[in-house]
Structure 1
Amino acid sequence: MAEIKWRNYIGMKHMELAKKKLKERGIYKMNINKTKFVVCINNEGYQASLELHKLYQVIPDKAVEDDGDIRIIDESGEDYIYPAFYFKKVSLTKDVKLLLLKVS
């Protein structure tokens, strides 16, 4: 039983450290619940910019979405517009989103 408490304690320390780093980068201020991610299902013509089966953060852009496209942060670390049908939406928990934002 003590071992489980120890693991939970370490996990909580890691989450607190992640939150601190996110706050320092200004990411923690964003509404994590509204942050969306997609998975790449087609990278034809964009092999250098997109990796198949990788998760990408969506940058909301109504004008782009109205044209059938999507704005994401790609492999360059910058946001670019791609055809929306190259991606599928995924549902993630808040904790997973925080972890993904920490490493990106």
Structure 2
Amino acid sequence: MDTNEIHVQFALCLDNTDYEASLELGKLYRVVADEQADKHGYLRVIDESGDDYAYQTERFHLLTLPETVEQTLLLAMA
């Protein structure tokens, strides 16, 4: 992996209850690293508003994707 590239984590939304305007069920979201959110059981993602917000971790399934897939998703989200 090129040292200039950053590993990006994605998560699949499994539960958008009470957040239907912010999260789409079955959609992939880019994860933003946030140690404080992690400590409290939250996952920070870039939601439908285009901003990053913390949601309960159990609403998502973290995915490990091949680098080429990550890069394609990043390009598509730009």
Calculate the TM-score normalised by the size of structure 2. 0.89
- Larger relative contact order, structure 1 or 2 (CA cutoff 8 Å, min sep 6): 2
Q: How does 1:58-97 map to 2 (within 5 A)?
A: 58-97=31-70
| Structure 1, unpaired ranges of 5+ | 1-28
CA deviations on 1:10-49 (whole Å, 9 max, x unpaired) are xxxxxxxxxxxxxxxxxxx541xx3110000000000000
Q: How does 1:29-44 map to 2 (within 5 A)?
A: 29-31=4-6, 34-44=7-17
Matched, 1:51 2:24: yes
Q: If each structure's helix is expressed as a fraction of its own residues, which one has the higher value?
A: 1
| Structure 2, unpaired ranges of 5+ | none
Partner residue in 1 for 2:73: 100
C-alpha root-mean-square deviation of aligned residues, in Å?
1.0
CA displacement at 1:103 relative to structure 2: 1.4
3-state DSSP of counterpart to 2:55: strand
Structure 1: 4+ residue segments shifted above 6 A: none
Percent identity between matched residues is 39
Larger Rg: 1
Q: Distance in 2 between matches of 1:45 and 1:101?
A: 27
Calculate the TM-score normalised by the size of structure 1. 0.68
